[in-house]
């Protein structure tokens, strides 16, 4: 069973902008995921080297995808993993204003290479549409690769069918808000058709304005 978490950490702050990164990391340690996709992550001296700190505390490897220059570093997405990491690349996504990126990694699991993507889509609807179109096109280029896609999609109405299934929808939990203060679901974990979605849940802890979302998956035998 593969256990994966997606978590928008809101710059390591809670809804009231209090520092909560240590609490977030302790929560991730309790959850014991194999893969962690993080959004709104800082790697700079102003807010801290958050991906590096989390990885060190958890004992995971990490990769960081810079999206926006900030202070002497960047702000973007990160992937933490306790699985062997065999490849990474950062792909720029189309955006009208604030730059967005896709962090694409390959890890080894159950004797196979699997693709793991994490991203944070734009607030702007037109940009978000272009970003989803690019994600679909990249998926079509490698139809035989088992893939997971997770992140904050900044919309309550996202579908990537037929390329991906929505892990929450597979378990009838698509109406649960991932950003409770606004009663909206913005965070998703998608799985390609190679996977059976064995479980999905939200972890109700208010360290960020978003909740961590968790999926448990198995590869189909075929």
Q: What per-residue confidence (pLDDT) applies to 66?
A: 96
Of the listed ranges 39-43, 93-97, 143-147, the one predicted with least confidence: 93-97
Residue reference for tokens 């909560």: 20
Return the higher-pLDDT residue of 32 and 97. 32
Number of domains in the chain: 1
Give the domain range for residue 33: 2-219
**Residue 72: which CATH number?**
3.60.10.10
Instruction: Specify the pLDDT at position 54.
Output: 98
Is a pLDDT exceeding 90 seen at residue 25? Answer: yes
pLDDT score for 13: 97
Q: Is residue 192's pLDDT more than 90?
A: yes
Residue 217: count other Cβ atoms within 10 Å of its Cβ.
24
pLDDT at 155: 96
Q: Which of 161, 156, 195 is nearest to 176 (CA)?
A: 156
Res. 221 pLDDT band, cuts 50 70 90: confident
Mean pLDDT of the chain: 96
Provide mean pLDDT across the span 98-125. 96
Residue 213 has pLDDT above 70, yes or no: yes
pLDDT at 222 over 80: no
Q: Average pLDDT, stretch 2-31?
A: 97
State the angle between helix axes of 50-58 and 21-31 in degrees (0 to 180), rounded to the nearest 10: 40
Q: At residue 94, does pLDDT exceed 80?
A: yes
Q: Is 102 helix (H, G, I), strand (E, B) or coil?
A: strand
């Amino acid at each position: 069973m593969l256990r994966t978490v997606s978590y928008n950490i809101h710059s390591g702050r809670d809804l009231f902008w209090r520092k909560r990164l240590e609490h977030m990391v302790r929560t991730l340690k309790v959850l014991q995921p194999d893969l962690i996709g993080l959004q709104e992550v800082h790697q700079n001296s102003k807010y801290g080297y958050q991906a590096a700190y989390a990885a060190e505390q958890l004992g995971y490897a990490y990769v960081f995808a810079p999206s926006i220059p900030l202070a002497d570093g960047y702000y973007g997405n990160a992937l933490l993993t306790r699985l062997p990491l065999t490849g990474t690349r950062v792909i720029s996504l189309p955006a009208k204003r604030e730059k967005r990126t896709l962090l694409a990694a390959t890890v080894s699991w159950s004797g196979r290479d699997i693709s793991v993507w994490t991203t944070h889509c734009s607030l702007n609807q037109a940009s978000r549409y272009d970003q989803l179109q690019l994600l679909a096109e990249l998926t079509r280029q490698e139809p035989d690769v088992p893939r997971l896609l997770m992140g904050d999609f900044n919309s309550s109405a996202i579908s990537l069918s037929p390329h991906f299934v929505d892990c929450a929808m597979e378990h009838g939990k698509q109406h649960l808000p991932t950003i409770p203060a606004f009663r909206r679901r913005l965070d998703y974990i998608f799985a390609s058709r190679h996977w059976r979605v064995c479980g999905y849940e939200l972890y109700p802890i208010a360290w960020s304005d978003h909740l961590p979302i968790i999926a448990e998956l198995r590869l189909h035998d075929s």
